[in-house]
Structure 1
Amino acid sequence: MLKVLVACGCGMGSSQLLKMNCANVLKKLGIENTVHHTSIDEAKSTAHDYDLIVVGENFVDSFKLKEGSKTKIIGLKNLMNKKELEEKLREGGFAN
C-alpha cells in the first residue's frame, strides 16, 4: 500500500482537494493507497513516514530528506490538474 502525504501552505483547502484528486488518480492507476493532507510545516516533519509527498512545485525544496530515504517528492505546477499528477506518478515509477 502506497502511503501518500499531500500538503499546501495551510493544510486546509488546497490540500483537501489535492487529497481527493490524488486518491482518484491512484485508484484509476490501480494503486492501493492511503492519502493524508496537511500543511507544509507539518509535512516537513513527518515526510519520512510516507512513500510519496505531493506538493506544489514551489514547496519541493522545503523538504530535506535523510540520505537513503525512500520517500519521493512530486511537485505540481497546478495542484488541481489530474493529468499532470498522473504523468508525474508515471515518471516517478509509481505506475506503468
Structure 2
Amino acid sequence: MRVLVSCANGSGTSLMMMRTAEKALKELGFKITNINHCSISEGKNSAKNYDVVFTPTTFVNMFENAAKKGVRVIGIKNPMSVKEIQEKVEESDLAEVFKK
C-alpha cells in the first residue's frame, strides 16, 4: 500500500503523523510499500500516486480530486494517536482492499 501523509508545511506534523500512521498500519497487518510526507501544496499534486492520504481533518477537502480518483483520504485530529488512526482505518474500506 502506498501512503502519503500531508500537512500545512510538510515538516514537523507530517513527519510525526507519518511515523504514527506507519506504526498503526503495521500493527493492523498492512504491508506498506511506500510512505512519504509532504506539504499540502505538494500533496494535492502527488496524492493521485498513492492509495491513501492521511491529513489533518481541516485539510481533507484539499484532496477532493484525489478522492474522486479512488484515493482514500483520511482526516486525523491527533497526529500522534495510533489509536485514532487505527479507528479511522477500520472505519474505512482499506482492510477490504489492501490487507493481505
TM-score by length of 1: 0.91
C-alpha displacement of 1:95: 3.1
Could you tell me which residue of structure 2 aligns to residue 89 of structure 1?
A: 89
Could you tell me which residue of structure 1 aligns to residue 21 of structure 2?
A: 22
CA contact (8 A) 1:6 1:37 kept: yes
- Quick one: structure 1 residues 71 and 78, their matched pair in 2 at CA, closer, same or farther if it must change by over 3 Å? same
Q: State how many pairs are aligned.
A: 95
C-alpha displacement of 1:64: 2.8
Could you tell me which residue of structure 2 aligns to residue 70 of structure 1?
A: 70
- Quick one: structure 1 residues 38 and 90, their matched pair in 2 at CA, closer, same or farther if it must change by over 3 Å? same
Q: Which string of whole-angstrom CA distances, capped at 9 and with x for unpartnered residues, describes residues 35-89 of structure 1?
A: 1000011000111100000000000011231685120100011111111100000
TM-score by length of 2: 0.87
Could you tell me which residue of structure 2 aligns to residue 37 of structure 1?
A: 37
CA RMSD of aligned residues (A): 1.6
Q: Percent identity?
A: 35
Gaps of 5+ in 1: none
Gaps of 5+ in 2: none
